[in-house]
């Protein structure tokens, strides 16, 4: 096996800025149901990494347990992957980034994995602003155990067997924002363009980029009465802005009308261009973002797009004042104190 | 139960006829939060500096201030440092417990008490010394608010005079303790002097206990096991430390963080060569450690029983996905919240098999600060060599109490980073499989993200030897059997037991961890008091080596001494032995939350020996 960046493409094939074809970013064949929204998300991840010229061997992909958590096997076959225990991917991802801050960490979770069993770890991951992309493939149900309700299922949504959900949903975007995530977005697995822009921006962001992606479950939750069905989401999706993303390595050339476009500069110099659809929506304003989320929810609508971003908040690793070389790669000479240090310790205890 | 050494001391008046030199235990009964720790450590250190072997044990409640706490200091010229059953000298400072404390003493014991408590009315078979603490503290500490903290130093002065501890040594110990707080130092010096002078002028020596200078502590250090473990982890080159506060383990990571900030900052950049993260719970603490271990960092966490319970699922993942991590378990009394500030060896069985499915984990069993220091270093090597979570089983007695120790030796052996795939190995192998056993020891080669070598998908679900998802029966069995081969191989890698075979002994003792110190003393008691010679095997790790079965086979009866109700190590030992040897394994158990003492072991072995002989005669 060789590293992806060194393989030369065949002449005439379309390649990205590091000379790779799109196919180099694919993973194993999906074993999810045909038509599952999660597969569309995997495909967008492949495209986003391709377009951004990400080196797969600099990516670690992590997940918990569930249908969504299977998907890291289906993209970026040249990246190391870790399928952790149910709801606990955030801690594994945190430890991994502590060990090697140079890797791009990409986590995939589900609404049960994040909103139920893993809510504690989710909360603290957001709070720490651990530098990673955290994707929730949100279908409002437990697919792998055959369709039980999850904590993001909407009040009043029904299961195939007629059971009605009588508890209010957890809004992961509102929660992530309140807790300190520095990039919070929502999208829909059927919205290719928006999701791709958001994923590319998330790759450029430094800090926790939380993407809540509504991804209908074709087997258990794509029916009349489900608020996470394709038809419901299509009818009730309410984009906050039209999104365009310009990576740091590309010239900015935009066709938006001046005055309606807001550019957000991300960590690596990339620009996120937001053409406002909803009046004066400002993704840098947490209070406004909160209001929009709650008001839309009351109308049964899902605001999509970049809900909140703060490119200036220091990420967790920055707070730890770590040496530049990844901790995992430090040689013994830098991690074992010299003999004089131990002598001093012993002397102080005499 | 009466200790023979105490019963023989019926001295109640006049100067002691038979001085008892450097062989006594002092118990200081106070209220926690009253600042007695300084006075207690100064007293302990004064004896230590005088060359007398000592140990200090803090018996404290799960509370910050206001509940009774006892600090016991044992001085022993024979070098026994286990807990001594019974108290020779009680310092009764706590009105709440004073009556009960006095009534529990053996005849001949000494009571130094706060005069207004009038404890001398309670019994006529003890030696009482009344000290008017409040009257003495007032002139030396004009600030009434500080008196509560300073008055404890008065009993150090009284005891120094009564026992004959050189005042210069107490002064030196006090200097050391409070060197950075000159104002507190001056107040305490004055209180110390006030106590000493009061005793000199007003107390006539009527007890036999005497401290005399010895030369038995030179070159030694005083340290607690958590600090020793922390120093070991730092010297092992740990880079990622993730933890969640829990008594009695918290001070391990806190001390580690302090040492790391001092000795592990990059000299050129002033940046940290480590990360210490307080996690949101123990699940997360181990999850982070595994995430870091998977990436190739040396990672660890420290916890106690309830945390071990929470770490069960992740431990199974670490075992099956084969990810290194080091877990320090500073054991306390369970189940559930149990007695959070009391000691036990109660997590042995649950840790050995932690998690669901077929799992087994290496455990190291340190008995002293020096050993936990060395085992901390060994644990990181083993975790990476075996690619699995490794547990270091300390306990509250080792972790939080003060022990004499040999200084920590510098680790001369290079770190063992285990089987990491290299381009050369890859070329030699031709095809690499993450979970393929190519060397016959069950240990495969691993790659880590960022090393430029082939990636793999790490998972806790079924996989084949190329790390591909698999539910095929053959793949599962091949993999889980290989992991067992790896565990069997671990028998040859972990620290072997320490075996002391006594010529002609028909009885053996097996111990581990802190029980060791009471066993050492008990074996002397058995020989001197009952003429019973015993051999001794001290376990230092699980899985066991071949020495264990040979030891059991060489003795008629083998007593496994441990600090839990169910004989957890005895069970583990029995599982490992040829079934024919199992009946030889007997259990000596102690589980009231106090460190086990020699007398308890001696009595129980003699009781079981008598029963065994009676059985044989029948």
Confidence band, pLDDT 50/70/90 cuts, at residue A4:
very low
Residues 6+ apart with CB under 8 A from A56: A4, A24, A25, A49, A76, A77, A78, A79
Domain assignment of residue A209, yes or no: yes
Q: For residue B109, give the CATH number of its domain.
A: 3.40.920.10
Q: What is the pLDDT of residue A237?
A: 84
* B277 shares contact with chain A (CB less than 8 Å): yes
Does the residue B215 lie in any domain? no
DSSP code, position A168: P
* B chain contacts of residue A121, beta-carbon cutoff 8 Å: 280, 283-284, 287
DSSP-assigned states of every residue in A280-337? T--TT-HHHHHHHHHHHHHTT-EEEEEEEE-TTSPPHHHHTTB-SS-GGG--HHHHS-
Q: What is the C-alpha separation between A180 and A195, in angstroms, rounded?
A: 22
CA dist., res. B576 & res. B561, Å (int): 17
Rg (Cα) of chain A, in Å, rounded?
Answer: 21
Which tens digits make up the pLDDT trace of B88-107? 999 999 999 999 999 999 99
Residue A104 sits at the chain B interface (C-beta within 8 Å):
no
Chain A, window 143-182: residues with a beta carbon less than 8 angstroms from a chain B beta carbon: none
Same domain, B348 and B238: yes
3-state per-residue secondary structure call for B12-36: CCCCCCCCEECEEEEEEEEECCCCH
Is the pLDDT reported for residue B1 higher than 50? no
B271, B172: one domain: no
Q: Residue B440 phi/psi, 5° resolution?
A: 80, 0
Collect all residues with Cβ–Cβ distance below 8 Å to B354 and sequence separation of at least 6.
B308, B311, B312, B315, B316, B361
Q: Do A95 and B295 touch (CB under 8 A)?
A: yes
| Adjacent-strand bridge partners of B499 | B537
Residue pairs spanning A and B at CB distance below 8 A? 210
Q: Which residue has the higher pLDDT, B301 or B1?
A: B301
**Which residues, in sequence order, are CB contacts of B483 under 8 Å at separation 6+?**
B319, B320, B322, B442
Whether B271 and B353 share a structural domain: yes
Same domain for B580 and B613, yes or no, is yes
Same domain, B361 and B448: no
Residue A210 placed within a domain: yes
Nearest to B306 by CA among B281, B324, B287, B276: B281
Residues 286-345 of A with CB under 8 A from B: 320-324, 326-330, 332, 334-337, 339, 341-342, 345
> Does residue B220 lie in a domain region?
no
Q: Is the same domain home to B197 and B103? A: yes
Cα A26–chain centre separation: 18
How would you class B616 by CB atoms within 10 Å of its CB: exposed for 0-12, middle for 13-18, buried for 19 or more?
Answer: exposed
Share of chain B above pLDDT 70, in %: 97
- In this prediction, residue B3 has a pLDDT band, given cuts at 50, 70 and 90, of very low
The number of distinct structural domains making up chain B is 4
Give long-range contacts, CB 8 A cutoff, 24+ apart: B160-164: B160/B46, B160/B192, B160/B195, B160/B196, B160/B199, B161/B195, B161/B196, B161/B199, B161/B200, B161/B203, B162/B110, B162/B112, B162/B129, B162/B199, B162/B203, B162/B205, B162/B207, B162/B209, B163/B209, B163/B210, B163/B211, B164/B210, B164/B211, B164/B212
Residue B38, φ and ψ in degrees, nearest 5: -60, -50
Q: State the residue for tokens 């967790």.
A: A316
How buried is B344 (Cβ within 10 angstroms: 0-12 exposed, 13-18 middle, 19+ buried)?
A: buried
Predicted confidence at residue A141, as pLDDT, reads 86
* Rounded distance between C-alpha atoms, residue B68 and residue B31, angstroms: 5
Do B240 and B340 share a structural domain? yes
Which chain B residue lies closest to A350 (C-alpha atoms)? B221
Does the distance separating the beta carbons of A334 and B408 come in below 8 Å?
no
CATH number at residue A55: 3.40.50.970
**B161 plus B306 within the same structural domain:** no
Cβ atoms < 10 Å from Cβ of B476? 14
Q: How do residues A183-222 score in pLDDT, each as one tens digit?
A: 999 999 999 999 999 999 999 999 999 999 999 888 888 8
Tokens 């070098």 sit at which residue? B79
For the segment A161-185, what is each residue's pLDDT rounded down to a tens digit?
A: 788 889 999 999 999 999 999 999 9
Helix (H, G, I), strand (E, B) or coil at A338: coil
> Which tops the pLDDT comparison, B283 or A239?
B283
Alpha-carbon distances, residue B196 vs A228, B121, B190, B191 (angstroms): 80, 25, 10, 9
Which of B210, B237, B255 represents a domain boundary (last residue)? B210
Q: Is residue A254 part of a domain?
A: yes
Residue B2 lies in a domain: no
pLDDT band per the 50, 70, 90 thresholds, residue A240: confident
Nearest chain A CA: its distance from B496 CA (Å): 25
What pLDDT sits at residue A337? 98
* B21 Cβ under 8 Å from any chain A Cβ: no
The upper half-sphere exposure of residue B54, i.e. CA atoms within 13 Å in the direction of its Cβ, equals 33
Measure CB to CB from residue B263 to each of A81, A121, A341 and give the nearest one: A341
* Length of chain A measured in residues: 350
Residues B463 and B516 in one domain: no
pLDDT band at A231 (very low <50, low <70, confident <90, very high): confident
Angstrom distance (rounded) from CA A102 to CA B49: 51
pLDDT band, residue A312 (cuts 50/70/90): very high
Domain for residue B473, yes or no? yes
- Is the pLDDT assigned to residue B309 strictly greater than 90? yes
CB contact under 8 A, A121 and B456: no
Q: Is residue A12 part of a domain?
A: no
Q: Angle, to 10 degrees, between the axis of helix A89-99 and the axis of helix B282-294?
A: 50
State how many domains chain A has: 1
Q: A138 pairs with which residues across the strands?
A: A214
* Residue A57 belongs to domain spanning: 26-349
> Can you give the residue range of the structural domain that contains B502?
498-617
Same domain, B140 and B61: yes
Contact A337 B235 (CB under 8 A): yes
Phi, psi of B581 (to 5 degrees): -90, -15
Q: Is there a domain that residue A19 lies in? A: no
**What residues of chain A lie within 8 A of the CB of B239, using their CB?**
99, 327-328, 330, 335
Percentage of the residues of chain A whose pLDDT score is greater than 90: 65
B273 near A CB under 8 A: yes
Q: Answer yes or no: do B235 and A84 touch at CB < 8 A.
A: no
Residue where a domain stops, chosen among B433, B457, B490: B490
């Amino acid at each position: 096996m060789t590293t992806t960046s060194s393989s030369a493409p065949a002449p005439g094939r379309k390649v990205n800025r590091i000379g790779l074809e799109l196919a180099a970013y694919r993973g194993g064949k999906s074993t999810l149901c045909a038509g599952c929204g999660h597969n569309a998300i995997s495909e967008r991840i492949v495209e986003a990494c391709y377009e951004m010229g990400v080196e797969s061997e600099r990516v670690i992909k992590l997940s918990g347990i569930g249908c969504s958590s299977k998907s890291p096997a289906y993209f970026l076959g040249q990246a190391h992957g870790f399928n952790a225990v149910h709801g606990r991917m955030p801690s594994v991802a945190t430890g991994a980034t502590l060990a090697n801050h140079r890797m791009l960490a990409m986590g995939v979770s589900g609404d049960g994995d994040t909103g139920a069993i893993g809510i504690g770890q989710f909360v603290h991951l957001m709070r720490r602003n651990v530098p990673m992309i955290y994707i929730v493939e949100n279908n409002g149900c437990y697919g792998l155990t055959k369709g039980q309700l999850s904590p993001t299922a909407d009040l009043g949504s029904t299961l195939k067997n007629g059971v009605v959900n009588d508890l209010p949903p957890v809004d992961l975007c509102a929660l992530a924002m309140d807790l300190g995530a520095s990039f919070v977005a929502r999208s829909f697995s059927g919205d290719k363009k928006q999701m791709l822009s958001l994923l590319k921006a998330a790759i450029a962001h430094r800090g926790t980029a939380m993407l809540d992606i509504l991804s209908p479950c074709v087997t258990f939750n794509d029916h009349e009465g489900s608020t996470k069905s394709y038809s419901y989401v299509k009818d009730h999706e309410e984009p906050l802005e039209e999104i365009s993303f310009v990576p740091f390595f590309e010239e900015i050339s935009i066709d938006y009308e001046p005055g309606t476009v807001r550019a957000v500069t991300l960590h690596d110099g990339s620009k996120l261009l937001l053409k406002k659809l909803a009046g004066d929506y400002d993704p840098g304003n947490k209070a406004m973002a909160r209001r929009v989320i709650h008001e839309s929810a009351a109308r049964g609508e899902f605001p999509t797009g970049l809900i909140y971003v703060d490119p200036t908040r220091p990420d967790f690793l920055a707070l730890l004042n770590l040496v530049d070389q990844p901790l995992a790669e430090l040689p013994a000479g830098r991690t074992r104190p010299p003999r004089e240090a131990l002598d001093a310790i012993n002397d102080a205890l005499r | 139960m009466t200790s023979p050494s105490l019963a023989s001391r019926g001295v109640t008046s006049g100067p002691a006829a038979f001085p008892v030199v450097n062989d006594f235990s002092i118990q200081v009964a106070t209220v926690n939060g009253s600042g007695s720790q300084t006075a207690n450590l100064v007293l302990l250190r004064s004896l230590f500096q005088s060359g007398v072997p000592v140990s200090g044990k803090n018996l404290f409640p799960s509370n910050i201030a206001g509940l009774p706490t006892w600090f016991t200091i044992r001085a022993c010229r024979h070098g026994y440092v286990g807990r001594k059953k019974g108290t020779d000298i009680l310092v009764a400072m706590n009105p709440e417990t004073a009556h009960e404390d006095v009534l529990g003493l053996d005849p001949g014991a000494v009571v130094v008490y706060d005069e207004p408590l009038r404890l001398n009315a309670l019994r006529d078979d003890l030696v009482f010394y009344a000290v008017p603490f409040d009257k003495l503290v007032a002139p030396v500490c004009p600030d009434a608010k500080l008196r509560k903290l300073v008055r404890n130093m008065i009993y150090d002065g009284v005891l120094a005079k009564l026992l004959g501890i050189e005042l210069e040594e107490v002064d030196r110990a006090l200097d050391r303790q409070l060197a950075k707080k000159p104002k507190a130092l001056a107040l305490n010096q004055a209180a110390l002097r006030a106590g000493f002078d009061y005793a000199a002028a007003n107390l006539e020596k009527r007890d036999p206990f005497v401290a005399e200078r010895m030369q038995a502590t030179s070159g030694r250090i005083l340290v607690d096991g958590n600090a020793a473990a922390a120093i070991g982890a730092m010297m092992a080159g740990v880079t990622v430390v993730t933890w969640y506060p829990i008594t009695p383990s918290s001070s391990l990571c806190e001390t580690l963080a302090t040492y790391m900030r001092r000795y592990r900052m990059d000299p050129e950049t002033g940046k940290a060569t480590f990360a210490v993260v307080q996690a949101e719970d123990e699940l997360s603490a181990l999850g982070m450690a595994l995430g870091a271990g998977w990436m190739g960092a040396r990672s660890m966490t420290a916890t106690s029983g309830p945390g071990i319970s929470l770490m069960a699922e992740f431990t199974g993942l670490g075992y099956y996905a084969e990810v290194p991590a080091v877990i320090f378990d500073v054991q306390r009394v369970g189940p559930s919240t149990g007695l959070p500030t009391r000691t036990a060896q109660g997590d042995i069985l649950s840790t050995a098999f932690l998690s669901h499915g077929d799992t087994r984990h290496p455990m190291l069993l340190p008995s002293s600060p020096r050993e936990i220091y060395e085992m901390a270093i060994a644990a990181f090597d083993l975790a990476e060599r075996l690619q699995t979570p490794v547990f270091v089983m300390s306990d509250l007695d080792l972790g939080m109490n003060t022990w004499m120790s040999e200084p920590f030796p510098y680790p001369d052996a290079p770190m063992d980073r285990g089987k990491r795939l290299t381009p050369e190995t890859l070329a030699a192998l031709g095809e690499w499989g993450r979970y393929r056993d190519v060397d016959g020891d069950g240990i495969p080669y691993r790659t880590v993200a960022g090393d430029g070598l082939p990636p793999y998908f790490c998972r806790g679900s079924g996989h084949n030897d190329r790390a591909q998802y698999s539910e095929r029966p053959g793949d599962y069995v091949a993999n889980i059997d290989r992991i067992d081969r790896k565990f069997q191989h671990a028998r040859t890698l972990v620290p072997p037991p320490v075996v002391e075979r006594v010529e002609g002994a028909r009885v053996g003792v097996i111990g581990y961890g802190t029980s060791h110190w009471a066993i050492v003393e008990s074996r002397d008691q058995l020989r001197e008091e009952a003429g019973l010679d015993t051999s001794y095997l001290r376990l230092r790790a699980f899985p066991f080596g071949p020495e264990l079965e040979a030891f059991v086979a060489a003795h008629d009866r083998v007593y496994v001494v441990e600090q839990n109700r169910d004989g957890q190590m005895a069970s583990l030992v029995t599982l490992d032995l040829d079934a024919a040897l199992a009946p030889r394994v007997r259990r000596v158990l102690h589980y009231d939350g106090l460190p086990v003492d020699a007398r308890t072991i001696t009595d129980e072995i003699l009781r079981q020996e008598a029963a065994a002989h009676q059985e044989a005669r029948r």
